[in-house]
Each structure stands twice: as structure tokens, then as C-alpha cells.
Structure 1
Amino acid sequence: MNCCYKGFIYEFLTLPKNQWLDEMIMNYRLLCHEEPSKAQVEAWADSHHQLISNLSQYKDKAYYLSFEYQLPHEGGRRPDVIILMHQQVVVVEFKQKDRITRADIDQTAAYGRDLKHYHEFSHAMDITPLLIPTKTQGKLKNFGPVKACSPDRMGVVIDALNRDGINYDPEKWLASDYVPLPTLVQAARKIYQKEALPAIRRANSAGIPEAVEVLKTIAKEAKEKNERVLALVTGVPGAGKTLLGLQFVYEGMKEDTAKQSIFLSGNGPLVEVLQHALGNKVFVQPLRNYIKHYGIEKRGISKEHIVVFDEAQRAWDKEHVQQKHRTNASEPDLIIDIADRIPEWTVFLGLIGEGQEIHNGEEAGMIQWREALQRSKNNWKVVCPSKISHIFKEVVEVIEEDSLDLNITLRSHLAEDVTLWANELLKGNIKGPKKLAEKIISEDFNMYVTRDLNKAKRYCKNRYSGIKEKRYGLLASSKARVLPKFRVDNTYNTTKQLKVGPWFNDGDDSQLSCCNLDRVATEFACQGLELDIPIICWGEDMLWQGSNWRRFQQSGAKAKDPNQLRINSYRVLLTRGRDGLIIYVPDDPMLDGTYEVLLQSGIVEL
């Protein structure tokens, strides 16, 4: 049973209320393993009254109802009522309110969007999200794909659909595959627990399975021919590069009883979050510990033949390694040296995020890898997308493989232009982002801006009320100095104490959770990770002046280009969302121009 009640409309209309409520309560216990709250039962009774009062004229229609249908793999998300008609699904969300709120509209739209994208039986059906505030009368209004109406206008909405009853077995709809894209943490848990990742429709369209197969072939041939291969995967933020790397490591471990594969990350917060989620520190390890152990201190030879490391473009340059370890070598030099000492064969897979270098010492980019290969005494082969093959062609054998370029973002449900929108915005080109924003918002990726932080917090709390798996939190640039006086403490001494694992992984019942909206994560803590809705707290370090962004300058900075690092940092902050984003601009006169230009870029005022 994956819902609390199901039946044709005539069965529902003739069932006594108390008997219906008893069935709802009994099945809720089985489905959720807990007692329904008093407020939940009262809401059911209210919705029952509204449906009995307003649907009786459809008693002869073969409409099928499902109450509290639980969306699989979604942490307990349940639309109030699903009405199945011929080639039509109506998703009904009741709210015991006397007004229509933006959070309720977006929650209802998200149910419709996710059924359309992830529920196999519903792919070819029309979806109508219907929001009903039960304490209103005479209201009927469209908000994009969502129809919002008072209970007494429900019949107007259903009549307008003009649909016959169903001509299929409703059990097939209820039992249909529903395969959402898991978060990175959910995917890592599945891989670690040796569960196959679901055949995610969206991940498939992004080419991840094909890329994994290409990498498995590369590893097989390297082992057979005793080759050393540097494989490189490129991709936009949210394209699934880390998911691909974890899957490749898992495939290597599955086929090799010696477990000679490992996932390394130079992103400390990502390592912390994954290790916290898995309760294990072997499957995912810090890249810098690995480099220090095998590369700098040379404590033996790495036993892993397959090594995956993320953010290859962010590897430290010589100058930074010299400062940290008094070693005259870049991180690529050290990694290639480690690989050179592994006997017989090796495949090192580097995952390359585009335009996300945010730390000092990370600005030298991919040229360091060419120089490291050039210095190696072994014969190396590079397999990479054609767009970066020119970097290596004069140094080693290069095989172009464009299936290793992941250029579709998975993070944002069809809103593949979020990264492009952020890029255009940060370039100061405002007309371009406005058109992109309209398209993105039409695909139900919500983009809001506000000068009221409490309003942003209320939106997140209301939208995700009762949904345990959803995560929302405060993000901010580490260089924004204006934020603390607006109750956003992004100071170094505070943010360095953030417990990143529980901040991302814990639900709103934990004091350490991001959902409490009282602790801030900076670009350093959130890169490579995601929230369902981030509240991005904008600072004066990205300030609109006249016709462009003011160039960021920092006296005494070690960075070669502090302004570019700021741009990259805001790009990271703007591309963390799965369901959307909210930008909070403090009500400070110097940020008035910034607020206006964000509105001009197509973001909607909350």
C-alpha cells in the first residue's frame, strides 16, 4: 500500500466519513510507521468535507482517487489527493488557510512537475496541479501551471478539463516506476550499500551511463596492456560529475575483489558530508591526505589502480604547495609521481568543474597537468573531451572522447540554463539573463529575490513543512562584510566552526541542521553540494555600480586575481539549488542598485 485510501469516486462518496477516516489512519500507520497527528486528522476531515460537498455531481464518472499517495524515494512527500481521469492527472493540495501563499503554489507545482518527469505512467499524461485554500470562497486564479481555487469553485476547474473517466487499471498507475534523481548524498549511500542506482531518466539523458561504460573500457584496456591513463571528465555545475566518479569507483570495487579503487576529493566539506552520511571513512577520502601520505612523505606505494579525484582544475600550484609543505612541486606533479610508482597499470580519473576555482593557489588550471605529464618518465595516455584535448596534444598521446563532457545539469529539473543565467548575470549582461530566467521559471525552477530575510525563511519553512528529506539553508560569500549586521554571520571565526556533515545531512529536528536557518555556509562549504532551496545572502563584494559589477579588490591578497575568485564564488552560490533559489539583498542603500539589477535579470520579487 503506497497511499492511505484509494477508490473510484462513487466508492468514496458512499463511504461513511468515520469509516473513511479509520481507513486513512490505519494505512498511514502502515505507510509512515507513526501515528498521524491531531492536526493531520483534522486536515483530512476538512478535505473530506470539501470533496463530498463539491464532487457529488461526478459520481457517475469513472474518476479514481488516491489520498496521501507517497512519492517513492522522496522521503515521505505525499500530495493530498490524486484524481485520475482519462489522460489526465489532477494533483490536489488542500491548505486550511484563508489566503493563497507563494510557498503553497510552488509546493503544488513541484508535485505536478515531479509526477510529469519521474512517474513513468504519467509521462504522456496532462498534469493539473490544483491548490485549494479551504477557508476561502469564490476564488479562482491561475499561477503558471497551478490552478488555485476555493472549494466552491472546484467543479469549475474539473468541468473545464472535460475529461472522461479512466480506461485503464488504476493499480498500474499506483504501481508505476517513480525514479527521481537522488541527491549526491543519497546516491553515495546507495552505492556504498551495494544497491544499484536506479535507471534515472534524467541521468540517462545526460549521458552518465555511457560515460561510465567508456571509463570501464578504458580501465579494462589499461589493465590488459599495462598502460597509464589520465582520463578527464568535464561538465557544468550539477552535471553529475561526482555521481559519475562514485559510480565508476563502485563498478571498480564490484568487479575487483581486491577493492583497488578509491574516490578522493580536495573538497573538504564534501568529504565530511559523505563520510558523515555513510558512517565510513574508507570509500571517500581527502585528496590532500592521500597526496601528503604518498606524494610528499612517500610512505609506500598506493595500492589502488583506479583513483578518482574531483575538481582537477582546482589542484594547487607550485607556489601554494611550497607555502603549505615546503615542496617544490604542484599537486598535479605529486599526483602523477604517485601514479608513476604504482606497478604495471593505473587509471587516474580527474573530474573538472568549469569556472569554479575559488581558493588561492587554484588559478593555474589545467596547464599544470600538461606540465606534470611532460616531466613524467613513463608513457602516458590522456583520454578527454575534444574541447580540452589541445592542452595535451604536444606532450602525450591523446584520445578524444566527447562522451566524457557532461553538459546537461541534473540539479535543477529541466532548468538547464541556470548555470548560463548565472554566467551572464555575473558578466554584467542583464538582457540575456532576463530571457533565460523566464524560461527557467516556466519550467518550475523558482527564482526569487527579497530584502526581507524573515520572508525568505518563512517561505522555505512553509513550502517544505513536514517533508523530512528536504534541505534549505543560508549561503553567503566569505568576503561579504555587510552581512553580520543583518543577522547573517558569515565571519571566518563562525563559519570555520560549522559542522558541515550534520549541517547538510540532518533534518529540521536537529539543532545542527541547515533547516534551522541560523548558521551560514560559505562558498567553501557548499561547493560540490546542493540544497533544495538555498537562501543566497548577497553582499557588497559583488556590487552593481552604474552599468556593471564593481571590480572586487582586496589589499594584501595572495590571490592572483581576487575579482575572478569573487565571480567564481558567486557562481558557486547561485548554482546550488535543486528546486530553485532565493536571493536575499540586505536593506542597505549601497545595495539598492544590486537589488534593482537582480529584478531586471528576471528574478521574481518574493
Structure 2
Amino acid sequence: MGNSPRCLFDSDIKKFLEKEKEAIFGVLCDKYHGDALTTTREAWIREIEILQSVVFPWKESDGRIIFEYDIPRLGKRIDVVLLLSGIVFCLEFKVGEAKIQESDVDQVLDYALDLKNFHKYSHDKLIVPILVATKHINTSSVIQASVYNDRVVNPLVSGETGLRGLLSEVLLRFPDESAVDSNWIISPYAPTPTIIEAAKALYESHSVEDITRHEADKVTTDRTIAYILDVIHKSKRDGEKSICFVTGVPGAGKTLVGLDVAVKQTYQGFDKPLEDEGAVYLSGNGPLVAVLNEALAKDNYAKCRERGEAKKLSDSRREVGKFIQIIHRYRDNMLAKIKNPVENGVLEIDPAKAVKMQEAGYGEVEHVAIFDEAQRSWTHKRLADYLKRGGTYGNKLKVPNFPMSEAAFLIWALDQREDWATIVCLVGGGQEINTGEAGITEWIRALNDKFTHWKVYISPQLTEAEYAEGKVNELLRDNRNVTFATDLHLGVSLRSFRAEKLSSMVHALLSLDVEAASLYSEIKDKYPIYLTRDMEKAKRWLHEKVRGTERTGVLITKESARYKPLGIHVLQSDEDNAVHWFLEDKTDTRSSNYLEDAATEIQVQGLELDYTCLLWDADMRYENGEWHYYRFNGKEKWDEILPNNETRVEKMKYMLNAYRVLLTRARSGMVICVPEGNANKTATGFWEDGTRLPEYYDGTYDYLKSIGFEEL
């Protein structure tokens, strides 16, 4: 096995005992990406010392020891895995701890269950989770398999002194285990049927409709889903590779279509999932994945408790994790299998790092992958720069001179399947909001240049200016494999006439199109938009509007900078914060309803609230009939971004799109607060606050007022 990209260190027990602890520590530090915290480094040293004395009796066995093992596609890492006499031991160390905490026991059990459920070569193995609190004086004396009959032993606990004896006891208790597969460390990600069934049951409660933007007419979404399933069926029958591009305005139900296809494809009308027919829904939007996962998991957990079933929230989370995943982990799982460095710009699978499956070859990907917000995949430059540095966390997976954009690599990953595959790209118009997002153009280029055998099914709406600057037809002109299908556009019915019209109105407002006023006049009775210059008035309006469990919140662009004087904080960017902001109820100060923390376009894309307040800062200003873009220098002034090179033009597009995202997040109405700025001067005649001059805001306010938005 040796040097696997899935862990920081692995070797047989004999070599582990012969190596100096400093040498092993050096390998861990070298392969860890970024600077390991001092506490992590100290823990590694102690773990090596403890284990070198603990595993000595098995020096001549064929056991293996693995440090910091990555569970494929889940983004979780186990401190130490010991493969010994056919048993998989998961060890979680708490160095220096004497007390056993319930949360630590849950953590090591979770790792064991994740291996059981998602790691092909652990499905039928005996898995033994052990928590090692190094200073703990007692050791578990009862060793028994769990009541679930799943070959996972109930978690055991030990201090460093009792660990050797505990391992011996387990080996005595289970003497006849068959050998662990020699490819265990590079085992494919493969969910067990039970986990898929659980995810299905949980999805079918359809609580996902409560939190995905869902206004679309059922008939429209059903037609789109049926068309995609038909393409999948045809691809399987004819052994083809195919790709569908689905378009729809914000609120048209793209997320719902994606999740629905994932479930229907996996089951196809049967009670049990069909073997090797699965689909996965992938999104690069961390907050969206976190909020979807948590909402579904909590809903499932509550329903099981109501029925009197014993269940942990972590079990529900694991089940949802089968269907809904972060695209970067999916991508990194395939990256870990390539020959590195890449030679002659050609990607190839390294047989030493991958397992060849009967039908799929080295694919190790589902037949069907659904990419949400496909226009947000990374450009070649951004991905190549990222991989040259070695990513941003965890293993140092450095790939110099990577030859592809993210879209091309994702098609390549599914192209590795030797049988058939379908990709579904869900495309939002004008929603690229991060530098380095390639838009839809990159997918089409990859299909034209590298994957000419793929069949392309595309919505005719993709030719509109919001997508690939309207160049889709031109880009596809010479591609012989294209079918245009109106069913791939999520049109919106009368029932959700608001979403379609709101989207058009926002488009006109941002394009400075005179139509914006008449479009607004058509929706204002059903969808009020108010203007104010006073944040307190805006908050008052929101508090008066929401009833029952309706949600409200403050939104702001990530380029905004001068919101503190208005008593607003920006929500910290980790995913837990987004989950609390969207899902906690109004008694919890972390909830969006408190109107204290504002969320940015990154945190709310793909999700929505009932009523919103958009705080419009001086980063994008209406001046002399056009938009001007500014970036705060962090100290005392705003610098204008001028369109004098390609990067800056891109930047301006992303800033405009940030406002597009924020203006389409509210289901029922919104208030836009454009601050007055600070008009005061000091006794000596200087501005009191030169970063918030009234002129930075007045033009924007007057422009918005001219559209017909009413002042509070």
C-alpha cells in the first residue's frame, strides 16, 4: 500500500516499529496541508509513542497501521485505523484527557458507522471503535456486538495503559475473521443499500420543499424530471454518455428537480434501490448543502422519535449524506486516483491508487451525477492554481500543471465509466458570484474539444444573454450531438407568476432597462418592495410582516464594508453559522429572524426567506446613469474598480450578480435600505466619516425610487 493519498501515513506493523518516531512524525507533518496546530503535532507524537509500545506483540503479523485516514467523499478523518487479524479497529485519541465524554464516544462510533455504510471493503468486516483518553485509568471489560446486528462492536474506551490488553481481548473474542482486502485503503466509496433506503425514506417526507425555492408549477417540474429520466434510460439502453442542461429562473424549482431525479433514478418505482443504478446530487455551495442536509436530517430524526424509534441525529445526517454531497469532495476523490504528476497534459488513472470495478472500470462514480449551479464550476486557471498549491485543507494533494477546467474534469470523471453515464447540469442565469467561476461556456467547450462522443441535450433558453453571454448557439454550431428540448427549461406557471416577473424585473433593474418600472407595477400588489434610509425602520417593517414560522433576515454583499455604524454584523462564513441562521427558530439569537447578522450572497444562494431586507452599501453605486463599482481598502477609502483589464471586468460582473442573487431571495416581499451616509463635519470643517459620504448613496436611492418602490 505505502503512500496512499487517502491518509497521512500507512505501513505494516513491522516497519512501523522499526521506524524512528521522529521519521513518522516528519511524514505526518509533510503530508498535512497547511500548518498543523501545535496541539495536533503534540498529539501525533504521543500517538506514535503509545502505539509503538501497544502493537509490539503483533510485530510479525500482517497487520497494518494507518494515520489520519480519509473516509472517501465524506470529508471526515479517523485518527488511526488498525487492520489486525481481519478486524478493522478505529481509534480516536484524546491526548492528555482523563475523563470520557459522551460526545467523544459518539464521534468514534460515527466513524465506524461511516466505514460500515460507505466504504466498500468494510461493509462485511467486524469494525471496532475505541476511544483512547490517554490518562483514563479504566478499560472497557464488556465487548459485545451492537444490537443492530451490523458487525459494529459497541464503542470501547481505554487509557493508554489498558489499550494493548483491550486489543488482545477483542482478538480473543473474535478469532475467526476473514482477511481484510489488500486494497482496503483505496476502497471505493459505495453506500450500502440500507443507507440509500434510509435516505429515500427521509427525502420522501418532502420537507425539502420547505427550504428549496419552490414556486414552480408541479406540471412543469414533472415534465422536466420525466425528460431527464428518459435521457438516462436511453443512455443506459444504448451504452452512451449524455449530458442535460436544465435552465430556470430563481424559484423555478431546479434544486427540487435535481433531488427528485436522484431519488427516482435510484429506485425506478421499486421499494429497494436498484444495484449500481444510483444518482448523486452535487453542489459546490457549502451553505446550501449544509442547510439541506441539516433540515432533512432534523425532520427525519423528529419523525422517527414521534414513532418511538430509537435514533440519533447523526444517523439521520449520515443517511442524507448519501444523496446530497459537496462537489469538491467528489472531485478530490477522483483526483486521488490519477497519475501524478500529469504527463503531456493527459489525465490517466493510476492502477495502484484505484480499484477496477466490473462494470464501471475505474470510474468509482455513480452512473448519474447532478451538478447544481453548474455555471459555478471553476475555470482552468483557478483549479490549476489551487492544485498547484495543494488545495486548502487536509491532505497535500498537489498536482502541478493540471490540464483541465473543473467542468472538463467532472465530465472526464464520468467518462471513466466503461458502460454508460449521464450528467445533469442545473444552470442558474447570471449567478456566477465568485471570481474563477467559469459559467456555462466551459462545459460546452469541454464537450466540443475533448468529449465529442457525448450526446448533448439542452434547453433552448440557454441561448439567452444571461447564459454564456448569449453565445451558446455559436459555441454549439458545429457539435453534431446536440438536441434542443423545451422540457429542459423550467417555465413557471401562473401560480408562480411572481417568480418569473420578479426575476425579469430584477434583470431590468440591474441592466438599467426602462422596462423595470412597468414590470414592477405588474407585481407590486402581490409582492411589495419598499425603500428606506433607516435600518431601524426596515427592521420594524420586517418584524410587523412575519407571522408564525415565517422567516426574515438581513442580506448584504460580501464587498459591503461600512455596515457596523448601522448596528449590523456579517454572518461568519463557516457552514454551521448558515445552518443556525436558516434553521433555528425565533427564540434563538443566532436565527436570521433576529436581524442582527446579515448573510451574504455566498451564504444564501439557492435558499430563500419569506421577507428580506437588502442593505445596499457603497460597493455598487448608480452614478450618472450607470453602475460604478468600488472596493473598500479596509482603512479609510473606497477605490473605484475600472474596466481596464479582463480580471476587473469579471470582478464587476460578479458584483452585479451578487445583487441579482440578493434581490431574488424573498418569497413574499422585501425592503431595500440604502443608508443616508454621514453628512456631519468636525469643528475644523472635515468630514466626520469620509467613508460614508451621502453622495455615495444618494444616486442609488434616487434610481431605485424612480422604479416605483415606495418609501417607508
- TM-score, normalising length from structure 1? 0.63
- The answer on whether the counterparts of 2:217 and 2:496 sit within 8 Å (CA) in structure 1 is no
Q: Could you tell me which residue of structure 2 aligns to residue 346 of structure 1?
A: 421
Q: Could you tell me which residue of structure 1 aligns to residue 385 of structure 2?
A: 323
Deviation for aligned residue 1:375: 4.3
Q: Letter of the aligned partner of 2:628 in structure 1?
A: R
CA distance in 2, matches of 1:190, 1:459: 40
Q: Letter of the aligned partner of 2:435 in structure 1?
A: N
Q: Could you tell me which residue of structure 2 aligns to residue 266 of structure 1?
A: 284
Spell out the pairing of 1:49-198 with structure 2 (5 A cutoff). 192-195=202-205
Deviation for aligned residue 1:374: 3.6
User: Which structure 2 segments of 5+ residues have no match?
Assistant: 1-197, 298-316, 339-352, 355-362, 389-401, 463-471, 631-639, 678-693
Q: Secondary structure at the match of 1:478?
A: coil
Deviation for aligned residue 1:302: 2.6
Q: Could you tell me which residue of structure 1 aligns to residue 515 of structure 2?
A: 432
Which has the higher mean CA deviation after the structures are superposed, 561-570 or 293-302? 293-302
Q: Could you tell me which residue of structure 2 aligns to residue 504 of structure 1?
A: 582
- The answer on whether the counterparts of 1:531 and 1:577 sit within 8 Å (CA) in structure 2 is yes
Q: Could you tell me which residue of structure 2 aligns to residue 542 of structure 1?
A: 620
Q: Secondary structure at the match of 2:620?
A: coil
Q: Secondary structure at the match of 1:568?
A: helix
Q: Secondary structure at the match of 1:561?
A: helix
For residues 415 and 227 of structure 1, do their structure 2 counterparts lie closer, same or farther at Cα, with a shift above 3 Å needed?
closer
Q: Could you tell me which residue of structure 1 aligns to residue 10 of structure 2?
A: none
- The answer on whether the counterparts of 1:333 and 1:369 sit within 8 Å (CA) in structure 2 is yes
The answer to whether structure 1 residue 592 and structure 2 residue 698 are counterparts is yes
Q: Could you tell me which residue of structure 2 aligns to residue 213 of structure 1?
A: 226
CA distance in 2, matches of 1:515, 1:235: 29
CA distance in 2, matches of 1:195, 1:527: 23
Q: Could you tell me which residue of structure 1 aligns to residue 106 of structure 2?
A: none
CA distance in 2, matches of 1:419, 1:328: 37
Deviation for aligned residue 1:489: 2.5
Deviation for aligned residue 1:376: 3.6
For residues 325 and 560 of structure 1, do their structure 2 counterparts lie closer, same or farther at Cα, with a shift above 3 Å needed?
farther
Q: Could you tell me which residue of structure 1 aligns to residue 334 of structure 2?
A: 294
Q: Could you tell me which residue of structure 2 aligns to residue 471 of structure 1?
A: 551
CA distance in 1, matches of 2:451, 2:497: 46
Deviation for aligned residue 1:408: 2.6
Deviation track 1:310-369 (CA, whole Å, cap 9, x = no partner) reads 11112101100011112231001110110111231111100110001110111x422221
For residues 367 and 375 of structure 1, do their structure 2 counterparts lie closer, same or farther at Cα, with a shift above 3 Å needed?
same
- Aligned counterpart for 2:605 among listed residues 515, 522, 527: 527
Which has the higher mean CA deviation after the structures are superposed, 382-391 or 337-346? 382-391
Q: Could you tell me which residue of structure 2 aligns to residue 105 of structure 1?
A: none
CA distance in 1, matches of 2:206, 2:576: 33
- TM-score, normalising length from structure 2? 0.54
Q: Secondary structure at the match of 1:579?
A: strand
Q: Secondary structure at the match of 1:598?
A: helix
For residues 202 and 275 of structure 1, do their structure 2 counterparts lie closer, same or farther at Cα, with a shift above 3 Å needed?
closer
CA distance in 2, matches of 1:191, 1:567: 40
CA distance in 1, matches of 2:414, 2:433: 27
Q: Could you tell me which residue of structure 2 aligns to residue 448 of structure 1?
A: 530
CA distance in 2, matches of 1:189, 1:303: 18
- The answer on whether the counterparts of 2:286 and 2:575 sit within 8 Å (CA) in structure 1 is no
Q: Could you tell me which residue of structure 2 aligns to residue 243 of structure 1?
A: 256
Q: Could you tell me which residue of structure 1 aligns to residue 324 of structure 2?
A: 284
CA distance in 1, matches of 2:296, 2:596: 25
Deviation for aligned residue 1:209: 0.7
Deviation track 1:213-232 (CA, whole Å, cap 9, x = no partner) reads 11111111111111100111
Deviation for aligned residue 1:378: 6.8
Deviation track 1:169-201 (CA, whole Å, cap 9, x = no partner) reads xxxxxxxxxxxxxxxxxxx99974424799x99
CA distance in 2, matches of 1:263, 1:582: 34
Q: Secondary structure at the match of 1:550?
A: strand
- Aligned counterpart for 1:332 among listed residues 382, 407, 414: 407
Q: Could you tell me which residue of structure 2 aligns to residue 3 of structure 1?
A: none
Deviation track 1:242-266 (CA, whole Å, cap 9, x = no partner) reads 1111111111122243361110001
- The answer on whether the counterparts of 2:291 and 2:578 sit within 8 Å (CA) in structure 1 is yes
- The answer on whether the counterparts of 2:223 and 2:487 sit within 8 Å (CA) in structure 1 is yes
- The answer on whether the counterparts of 1:373 and 1:396 sit within 8 Å (CA) in structure 2 is no
Q: State how many pairs are aligned.
A: 411
For residues 554 and 546 of structure 1, do their structure 2 counterparts lie closer, same or farther at Cα, with a shift above 3 Å needed?
closer
Deviation track 1:533-587 (CA, whole Å, cap 9, x = no partner) reads 1110001111121322224444999655211111111001101110111111112
Q: Could you tell me which residue of structure 1 aligns to residue 242 of structure 2?
A: 229
For residues 458 and 190 of structure 1, do their structure 2 counterparts lie closer, same or farther at Cα, with a shift above 3 Å needed?
farther
CA distance in 1, matches of 2:610, 2:201: 22
- The answer on whether the counterparts of 2:215 and 2:252 sit within 8 Å (CA) in structure 1 is no
- The answer on whether the counterparts of 2:247 and 2:461 sit within 8 Å (CA) in structure 1 is no
User: Which structure 1 segments of 5+ residues have no match?
Assistant: 1-187
Q: Could you tell me which residue of structure 2 aligns to residue 93 of structure 1?
A: none
Query: Alignment RMSD, CA only?
Result: 2.8
- Aligned counterpart for 1:484 among listed residues 543, 548, 564: 564
- The answer on whether the counterparts of 2:568 and 2:598 sit within 8 Å (CA) in structure 1 is yes
For residues 193 and 312 of structure 1, do their structure 2 counterparts lie closer, same or farther at Cα, with a shift above 3 Å needed?
closer
